Amino acid sequence: MKKFLKYLNPAIFTDVVPQVILFLISVTLVFLFLLKPTRTFISTDPPPKIEPITSRLGHLGHKVETGIHLENFHEFDLTNNSFVLNAIVWFKFNPSVISLDTIEKFSFEEGDILSRSKAMTKLIGNLVLAKYRIKFKFTTNLNYKVFPLNSHRIFITLTNKEVSPKELIFESSESGLTLSKNMLISGWKKDRHEVLTGYSESLLDRNDPSTKIFHPVIVFVLDFIRSGARQLVVLFVPLLLFFYLMLFSLSLGKDLYIRRSIMSFGSISGIIGYRFVVERVSPQVGYLMFTDHVFNLLLFIALLIFIINLATKDKEYHFVRGLVVLIAHFTFLTAWYYLCFYWALS
């Protein structure tokens, strides 16, 4: 019984071997907790606001079947929200009621067409198929709340601001969005996609409802999941290394007080210094992300350990230091579990 009670005494965690065992258990749990959020499609990206086509619009315009074929991305930068894409946009319409001049006035919301070929037309029955090979640059609605765990949903919104839904409406299906088989995006893999059709509305004068204008829109939605763990390793492993090094400083006795203090202070300096590295590769946003919460948590615990090291200068205080080791591990793992399983997935 005495031998069993000995292992329940927190003081044993001031020894190196129990600390190493606790470290291995803790690191294992850290990476196990990451499995669910990294294997789950997590997107907090807000979709563009479009209204479905309804009868309240009154008489609706002629339907134009629309689609896009994505050839390749010249630029695919989710961190800075910048994309340059080669694509083929096509329209199938009745030339007796809609002119080609009207069709080719299409544009992209939050984007600019850098180059556009002349219309390549083909007659299919009594309909005309018009294709345009384009290169365009665009941004999309991105939210980085759970960076770097998040997947992303990209919205490509095509519109025609020269007409209203009473003149023309876009019609499409999931098959209207296709991707080249040769498209490869480093660090990301495509998941699912969908196509949304409707119209957008704008109020020119908020005090005058009669100034409201409408445009037909079609939104091509692409889901991308992060592939590989390189970014997770680069961002979190150094921070965790500094944190666990700080915990190991509690294994040093009062005779090594100077080394213990240097190790504690050095770990805090390392965490703060690495923060600037993380900041350089993180999206520049005004709200707290997953990385920010992890950094703040580790820094707070590290500062408490530093204070404990200063307070236990003259005596061993094995029980206190061992208890601090257990509390630090438990606090970090509990917070990490909450961030991975509840906060990130909410």
- pLDDT tens per residue, range 150-166: 889 999 999 998 888 88
Domain membership flag for residue 48: no
Q: How far is it, in rounded angstroms, from Cα 102 to Cα 104?
A: 6
- Domain containing 329 equals 9-39+230-343
In a 3-state reduction of DSSP, which class is residue 32? helix
Q: How far is it, in rounded angstroms, from Cα 143 to Cα 44?
A: 6
For 118-187, strand residue ranges (E) read: 120-124, 127-138, 152-159, 168-171, 177-179
- Residue 154 near residue 224, CB atoms below 8 Å: yes
Q: What percent of the chain has pLDDT over 90?
A: 37
Q: How far is it, in rounded angstroms, from Cα 208 to Cα 211?
A: 6
What are the tens digits of pLDDT across the range 258-288? 777 788 888 888 888 888 888 888 898 889 9
- Residue 259 near residue 235, CB atoms below 8 Å: no
Mean pLDDT throughout 1-27?
A: 71
Residue 211 pLDDT: 72
* Half-sphere exposure (Cβ direction) of 107: Cα atoms closer than 13 Å: 10
Residue 324 pLDDT: 84
- Give alpha helix (H) positions in 223-289: 230-248, 257-281
How is residue 54 written in tokens?
């309804």
Please give the angle made by the CA atoms of 136, 137 and 138, to the nearest 5 degrees. 120
Element (H, E) at 324: helix 318-338
Domain membership flag for residue 4: no
Q: How far is it, in rounded angstroms, from Cα 274 to Cα 277?
A: 5
Q: 194 and 280: one domain?
A: no
Mean pLDDT throughout 223-252?
A: 85
Q: 205 and 235: one domain?
A: no
When divided into structural domains, the chain yields a total of: 2
Say which residue, 91 or 234, is predicted with more confidence.
Answer: 91
Domain membership flag for residue 145: yes
How is residue 157 written in tokens?
């919104």
In a 3-state reduction of DSSP, which class is residue 147? coil
Residues whose CB is less than 8 angstroms from the CB of residue 342 and which lie 6 or more positions away in sequence, other chains included: none
CATH number of the domain enclosing 128: 2.70.170.10
CATH number of the domain enclosing 305: 1.20.58
Q: Is 141 left (phi over 0), alpha (psi -120 to 50) or beta?
A: beta
51-55, 156-160, 170-174, 307-311: least confident range? 51-55
- Residue 19 near residue 251, CB atoms below 8 Å: yes
Residue 69 pLDDT: 95
In terms of Cα–Cα distance, which of 160, 157, 164, 162 is closest to 60?
A: 164
Domain membership flag for residue 46: no
Mean pLDDT throughout 132-147?
A: 93
Q: 199 and 255: one domain?
A: no
In terms of Cα–Cα distance, which of 69, 87, 206 is closest to 138?
A: 87
In terms of Cα–Cα distance, which of 93, 91, 67 is closest to 175?
A: 67
* Half-sphere exposure (Cβ direction) of 94: Cα atoms closer than 13 Å: 8
Say which residue, 252 or 185, is predicted with more confidence.
Answer: 185
Residue at 140: amino acid letter:
T
Mean pLDDT throughout 32-36?
A: 88
Residue 7 has pLDDT above 60, yes or no: no
Residue 182 pLDDT: 84
Residue 1 pLDDT: 47
In terms of Cα–Cα distance, which of 141, 152, 147 is closest to 289?
A: 147
Domain membership flag for residue 49: no
Query: At which of 226, 241, 276 does a domain end?
Result: 226
How is residue 170 written in tokens?
């876009």
Mean pLDDT throughout 208-236?
A: 85
Domain membership flag for residue 20: yes
